[in-house]
Amino acid sequence: MNYFTLKIDFQKLKNEATKTRTAKFLAIGTLVFTGLATTIVENGNYFEIAKNIEIFANLYKEVNTYYVDEIDPSTLMKTGIDAMMESLDPYTDYISETQIEGYRFITEGKYNGIGADIRIIDGLPTVVAPYLDAPAQKAGLKAGDKIVAIDGKDTKGKTSDEVSAILKGYPGTEVELTISRLGEAKNLNITLVRDEVEVSNIPYSGMVSSDVGYIALTTFTRDAGANVGKALRDLKTEQPNLKGVILDLRDNGGGLLAEAVNLCNIFIPKDELVVTTKGKVKDWDRSFRTQNPASDPQVPLIVLINKGSASASEIVSGTIQDLDRGVLLGQRSYGKGLVQNTRDIGYNAKVKMTTAKYYIPSGRCIQAVEYQNGEPVDIAESKRAPFKTRNGRPVLDGGGVKPDIVLDSDAGSNILQTLDEKYVVFNYVNQWMLKNPEVKSLEDFHFTDWDDFLQFLAKQNFDFDTETEKLLKDLKEKSKTGGYLSQADILALETKVVAAKKADIDKHKERISDMIEKEIVSRAFYEKGRIQMGLRNDLEIKEAIKLFGDKAKYDGILKG
């Protein structure tokens, strides 16, 4: 089969498509496939590509025409595309027309909608945090509000993407939400007017001691570098004798590569290599260097990272480490050393595709090479290749950036993660706010109702579904049909697990109280208040301030 045969086959399918309603959808698809066929001749395996495109088109036509139930061609196609993307790496995605606003938010930090973090909790879309001065906050939406209907249509069973697509829309348009609010006997109907929502990538910066400044960067959206530069200037105006700056990149999932380079340029002189990208298309390989004189190449710098720091965060932290410009503190980063580019594929849709790997100044790539359920798997240090920083300090490739000072007070416990992921603390604070509706002062607030929290947990029956509990449930079911363990043995194990969890909760009382305090103050002072409250009990912040006070140790780390 050659190109001309393929084209004739597609044209025939196109003509047949006009005979039936369902086959009309295929006409659009065949034109796309025909266009694709003209572009794949240069790719070495043309025949295999052309053959499989024809098979796919024929399958799509047959299913769309003869399947017993009515189907939505767009949904069917998206399912196929999503499955194809999932067979690649976790970062290559199809972005449909309805998801464009979400893509815009990731790259620009703004979108058109109501301005709220909404997640599915207990089967219903729930307001986790309205953004300050956004339509949701102005209309009176509160954290904990459950959205039971949008414009009169039930939301139960809808996914986060489906809810998000409905709520986003042109500025000035209205949307009516039916809200179930804790403490209210009846549902509330709230009408919101959509608007452009912009979320700052620096929710807070300020002094954390008399001479140490702090900047929190949550995402590398547009102007991230410029905003960090402005925050640094403001800190130096407030304290001309600044002893050091803490740059907080914890849980920063990355963003624009250019902004990572711009941020490095604040602390690193002109014409320093920051990152090199290398991929299949050699003409696309590029090296990115700092373009301007550094804003401050001398100020002592500590960068905070954790397992949620990824992509652009790892470029910045890895470059700072490779050039011995500052000290990294925290936990090993996520390990995303891949570069994504977006390409238009028609009808306002895009494909976000991994096109290269990035390499930081030492020459190492920090990409995690093993995945399980879409998440990177820890790679033993013995399997990671060694490299050296400018001063000769040993560093490793693969599996993320390892801090110079590793702090992990939560190692060995999954209670804190479970309390967060299962929204236990969030749900507790919803109830706590009914009895304590006002938090007047962020600085003076302290959570003192620990026994009340324990009673709340007791009512939840500690149903956290830890990995141990999941194994016990499986063991319990299998023991019913035979085995060496009786139901009494299983019950004894369950009792031990409950006791261990209670001990674990008591052990982490301080950290859990901190989680509760941050959630409470966020209801009145939003994201800025959450960060400010967190700084008060932050182990990494305390260690960073301590390190700035020990210049010999700070310099010694960088000299290796």
Catalytic residues: 311, 322, 336
Q: Provide the b/e sequence for 516-554 (b: ≥16 CB within 10 Å).
A: bbbbbbbbebbbbbbbbbbbbebbbbebbbebbeeeeeb
- Phi–psi pair at 437, nearest 5 degrees: -70, -15
Q: What is the DSSP string of 58-103?
A: HHHHHHHHH-SS---HHHHHHHHHHHHHHTS-TT-EEE-GGGHHHH
Q: Any idea what DSSP says for residue 382?
A: G
For 103, residues 6+ apart whose C-beta sits below 8 A from its C-beta are 95, 342, 350, 352
- Phi–psi pair at 272, nearest 5 degrees: -90, 135
End-to-end CA distance of the chain: 63
Classified as helix, coil or strand, 456 is: helix
The angle formed by the CA atoms of residues 408, 422 and 157, to the nearest 5 degrees, is 145
- Nearest-angstrom CA–CA distance, 350 and 295: 36
The secondary element (H helix, E strand) that includes residue 127 is strand 124-130
- Nearest-angstrom CA–CA distance, 450 and 467: 26
- Nearest-angstrom CA–CA distance, 306 and 330: 6
Q: Any idea what DSSP says for residue 364?
A: -
